[in-house]
Amino acid sequence: MLDKSKSVHLFETAQNFIPGGVNSPVRAFKAVGGDPIFMQSAKGAIMTDVDGNEYIDLINSWGPMILGHAYDEITEAVSKAIPHSLSFGTPGALEVDIAELIVKMKPSIEKVRMVNSGTEATMSAIRLARGYTSREKVIKFEGCYHGHGDSFLIAAGSGAMTMGEPNSPGVTRGTANDTLTAPYNDLEAVTKLVAANKDQVAAIILEPVAGNMGCVLPNEGYLQGLRDLCTQEGIVLIFDEVMTGFRLAKGGAQELFGVQADLTTLGKIIGGGMPVGAYGGKKEIMDYVSPQGPVYQAGTLSGNPISMAAGLAMLKHLDTHPEVYEHINAQSAKIAEGTKENLKKLGLDYTTNEVGSMHSLFFTNVKVTDFDTAKTCDTALFGKYFNAMLERGIYLAPSQYETLFICNALTDEHVEAILKASYESLKEIH
Ligand SMILES: Cc1ncc(COP(=O)(O)O)c(C=O)c1O
Ligand SMILES: N[C@H](C=O)CCC(=O)O
């Protein structure tokens, strides 16, 4: 058994001062049992906890550590920026540089506004869509997560799904009424929903690859179908690429699937791990944002120089090193294939979904294509698997309804260790 005594002590103390002892619910290990591990440091693909245990990290801060933890180019850029002030509250040169680079790397984005989190990005994007269209309703998909803005805590994935609270108390009935939900991957259902709310829908928002009910891929033609529907009905199509942007390809899911959104929301990845978000898209729509247009949106720390320095270093690296994508995709494919072989060897019939450097093992024999099929998973069994892997030094996301992310620092030796641990863990829990 790992010695977790310092983590246990910290968690006991934390619970006195922080709700549930954590600053974001999925970290609490409630869905998998046991106490959360408190981390001390991380470098490359390895995290070290406060008790000195080491783990191969398969969450990578929920996605942004594409280059691995404490990547030299990023930490150097941050160190260089720090002496010049931690925040100006005025425009700064790095904001212009990163905006220019994002516009270059993501063809559907002509203008971009920086915010401080993915939640802020999605909240701002739907306000903009409402202001632009003069319509009030928004369609989201069951099991998709767009942060914790009131409009999105309806049939939400990620922690909300994990805690069994996809509709949160505290969201007013009025707000909930303006959010319509449809099943993911069902074009007919969303088309009917739009028809039933003719000329009232401002935006359709989705994760182009859902990562918050586990990893769920869009069916062939689904994204294009939504694109066509939105164009036809004057609806703003928003791709929430907080997870997929700059991860699945330089141009994110839009490049991979060849479908362009009107607005795109971005998050943690463009800060290289610092608290950042952004929304951007067609100039015609973005020019509705204050101070150019009437839709108000602001932020004291938006475009923060330290966050911009980190994000810029990360994006510059991704822009000039296509081999990063080759490597993370290849390592992810090895893990996915190896997991399938392990399942076969053990006579287990579970489902795996993967795309690029994102993947999930679902404890169900049902093909997972939406919220309902994701919910067929044996979450108790996942909890056992999670803990068995943790004991073997592999840090998975502590919920069945999250996606695993691969970083560029993951070597073949790491992959081998992950697959060995996975085989032993699967064997142990059956
Ligand atoms: C797709 C998606 N959108 C939005 C968010 C919200 O981002 P944040 O947690 O930075 O507010 C997340 C992650 O939490 C996400 O995965
Ligand atoms: N699924 C979420 C982000 O992508 C999990 C992170 C969090 O809410 O703490």
Residue 406: both structure tokens together = 């691969």
Is 159 near ligand 2, meaning CB less than 6 Å away? yes
Architecture of domain 5-70+322-429: Alpha-Beta Complex (3.90)
DSSP label at residue 143: T
* pLDDT given for residue 156 in this prediction: 82
Return the residue whose CA atom lies nearest to atom 2 of ligand 2. 158
Compute, in angstroms, the gap from residue 145 CA to the centroid of ligand 1: 7
CA distance 429 to 270: 38
**What pLDDT, on a 0 to 100 scale, did the predictor assign at position 164?**
64
Minimum CA distance residue for ligand 2 atom 6: 62
Determine if ligand 2 sits within 6 Å of the CB of residue 402: yes
DSSP 222-248: HHHHHHHHHHHHTPEEEEE-TTTTTTT
Total Cβ atoms within 10 A of residue 403? 28
pLDDT higher than threshold 80 for residue 141: yes
- Ligand 1 proximity of 141 Cβ (cutoff 6 Å): no
- Would you state the pLDDT for residue 155? 84
| The one-letter amino acid at 217 | L
Question: Looking at the CA of 23, which ligand is closest?
Answer: 2
How many CB atoms within 10 Å of residue 13?
A: 10
Average pLDDT over residues 333-345: 98
Question: Is 26 within 8 Å of 386 (Cβ atoms)?
Answer: no
Q: Is 265 helix (H, G, I), strand (E, B) or coil?
A: strand
240 lines ligand 1 (CB under 6 A): yes
Longest distance between any two alpha carbons in the chain, whole Å: 61
Residue pair 145/151 in contact by the 8 Å Cβ criterion: no
Q: How far is the CA of 120 from the centre of ligand 2 (A)?
A: 14
Residue 16 burial (CB count, 10 A): 7
Our CA angle for 387, 248, 369, nearest 5°, is 65
State the distance from the centre of ligand 2 to the C-alpha of 157, rounded, in angstroms.
Answer: 10
- Which tokens belong to 20? 């549930």
Q: Does the predicted model carry a pTM greater than 0.95?
A: yes
Residues 236/285, Cβ–Cβ less than 8 Å:
yes
In this prediction, residue 352 carries a pLDDT of 97
Mean pLDDT of 135-158: 93
* CATH fold of the domain at 72-320: Aspartate Aminotransferase; domain 2 (3.40.640)
DSSP 429: T
Q: If you compute the radius of gyration of the chain from its CA atoms, what whole number of angstroms results?
A: 21
User: Nearest Cα to 184, choosing from 374, 409, 419?
Assistant: 374
**Average pLDDT score over residue span 179-191:** 97
Q: How far is CA 192 from CA 66, 81, 176, in A?
A: 39, 51, 19
**Taking 90 as the threshold, does the pLDDT of residue 165 lie above it?**
no
Q: Mind listing the pLDDT tens digit for each residue in 33-75? A: 999 999 999 999 999 999 999 999 999 999 999 999 999 999 9
- Test site for ligand 2: of 18, 22, 24, 148, most ligand atoms within 8 A of the Cβ: 24
Q: E strands of 50-185, at which residues?
A: 54-57, 111-115, 137-141, 179-182
Q: Which residues contact 66 (CB under 8 A, 6 or more apart)?
A: 60, 246, 247, 269, 314, 318, 324, 328, 357, 407, 408
Residues 3-21 pLDDT 10s: 999 999 999 999 999 999 9
Each residue's pLDDT tens digit, 225-278? 999 999 999 999 999 999 999 999 999 999 999 999 999 999 999 999 999 999
Q: What's the mean pLDDT in 350-367?
A: 98
Q: Is 372 a residue whose pLDDT tops 80?
A: yes
In the sheet where 46-49 sits, what is the strand order? 39-43, 46-49, 54-57, 394-395
Q: Which residue has the tokens 């971005």?
A: 266
Give how far Cα 411 sits from Cα of 70, 244, 334, Å: 16, 22, 11
Does the CB atom of residue 119 touch ligand 1 within 6 A? yes
Domain borders along the chain are 5-70+322-429, 72-320
- CB 7 less than 6 A from any atom of ligand 1: no
Active site residues: 145, 240, 268
pLDDT of residue 339: 98
Ligand 1 atom at minimal distance to the Cα of residue 275? 10
26 C-beta closer than 6 A to ligand 2: yes
Predicted complex ipTM: 0.99
How is residue 101 written in tokens?
């680079």
Q: Are strands 263-266 and 236-240 parallel, antiparallel or unpaired?
A: parallel
Determine the pLDDT at residue 162. Answer: 73
In this structure, is the dihedral angle defined by the CA atoms of residues 150, 139, 244 and 358, taken in order, positive or negative?
A: positive
pLDDT at 160 over 90: no
Question: Does residue 166 have a pLDDT over 80?
Answer: no
Q: Give tens-digit pLDDT for 94-119.
A: 999 999 999 999 999 999 999 999 99
Task: Give the pLDDT of residue 325.
Answer: 98
Q: Which amino acid is at 120?
A: E
